[in-house]
Amino acid sequence: MKNLKKSLIALIAAFAVSCGDPDLPVELFPTMEYGAYARKMTQTGTYNYYEVGSSQIDLSVEYYDANNGANIASYAIEVEYIDNKTGGAKSKPRTAVRTINASEFGTNADGFLSSDISLSFNDAMSILGITSADVDGGAYFRYWFTITMNDGRTFGYDNTGPNMMSSNAFGALFRLNVYIVCPSSLEGAVVATSTEVGAWSGVAGGFTLAGVTDELVKSGPAENIYTMKNDNTLGGWGPNGADYSVPVATGPEITDACNVLTYSGADDYSETWSLVDGSVSVSADNKTLSYTWENTYGESAAVELTYADGSSWPALTN
């Protein structure tokens, strides 16, 4: 690793004297020839929608220029909030977070000037004058970083080549998007009671299926998408229900987007599923989840779902 870092410094010097050489195997960047950058070495942490107070991003950066970082005067940080959930109505413009002056730089174990930077969820909101009520899961904070040199020149996202920022070898940190995530954990064995089942088949008022067991499982690699392991109709198409030749629905998926549920996808008859607007709720004791599913064939059922082990549901809605 240390040899790699030394080679980066050597590359900066090499570019300065070889910019006319057409045989160089790399693209040349003026910001490398004359400027500086901070290389992101590590990044840990998340902005958790449900744990704002303890959420933060921790970064470690190293500073590079033609003089081993000694020509850098400061590293400034700004933040803005990007509202990609409600059309930008809640977005907040770039605002200064802090400036790390050269006198605050440390020296890491490899001998390079460096900084450890913590960016907390709470601080970002406070700086922008907003609270947790003003942000949405899936939206994000965008951090901007600017280097100022001893001679007054500045280097940031807008005047640095894109390969400097995207390349793993350089990893120049001039912009960082930190998304607000909503960890989801709804999986588990469930017991269902469905009412109004079969009303689409002419059964007046439909009928009730009680005590049907199934399991809510993760669907695919996403952490917030689920499906019923055996049958999304929870018996509605089976021998005790409509008694179809294909007695189960295995395609539809439930997405948990920060406690807002949606049903999507097609069933085994290629009918698309959804949730009736406003049908999702959780009982006062948090033990029963209620929702009404429907599909494009006109089928539907009102479901009450409990965990087999008595666990509680989060405050789900739609």
pLDDT tens sequence across 93-134: 999 999 999 999 999 999 999 999 999 999 999 999 999 999
Q: Are 237 and 244 in contact (CB under 8 A)?
A: yes
Q: Which pTM value belongs to this model?
A: 0.67
pLDDT of residue 35: 83
Place of tokens 């539907």: 300
| Residue 185 Ramachandran class (φ > 0 left, ψ -120 to 50 alpha, else beta) | beta
pLDDT for 223-244, tens place per residue? 889 999 999 999 999 988 888 9
Q: Give the separation between CA 53 and CA 301, rounded to whole angstroms.
A: 40
**In the predicted model, is pLDDT for residue 250 greater than 90?**
yes
pLDDT of residue 31: 45
Domain ranges of the chain: 2-181, 188-307
Q: Are 90 and 83 in contact (CB under 8 A)?
A: yes
Average pLDDT over residues 157-170: 70
Whether the domain at 2-181 and the domain at 188-307 fall into the same CATH topology:
no
Q: Give the separation between CA 35 and CA 141, rounded to whole angstroms.
A: 27
Average pLDDT over residues 56-81: 96
Q: Which CATH number fits domain 188-307: 2.60.40, 2.60.120, 1.20.120, 2.40.128?
A: 2.40.128
- At position 34, the amino acid (one-letter code) is Y
Burial letters 138-173, b for 16+ CB under 10 A, else e: ebbbbbbbbbbbeeeeebbbeebbeebbeeeebbbb
pLDDT of residue 119: 98
CATH code of domain 2-181: 2.60.40.1940
Long-range contacts of 185-188 (CB under 8 A, 24+ apart): 186/216, 186/226, 186/254, 186/256, 186/313, 186/314, 187/215, 187/216, 187/217, 187/218, 187/226, 188/215, 188/216, 188/307, 188/308, 188/309, 188/311
pLDDT for 208-220, tens place per residue? 999 999 999 999 8
pLDDT of residue 162: 72
Paired with 180 in beta bridges are 47
pLDDT of residue 48: 93
pLDDT of residue 253: 95
pLDDT of residue 74: 98
Paired with 254 in beta bridges are 226, 263
pLDDT for 292-310, tens place per residue? 999 999 999 999 999 999 9
Q: Give the separation between CA 181 and CA 171, rounded to whole angstroms.
A: 24
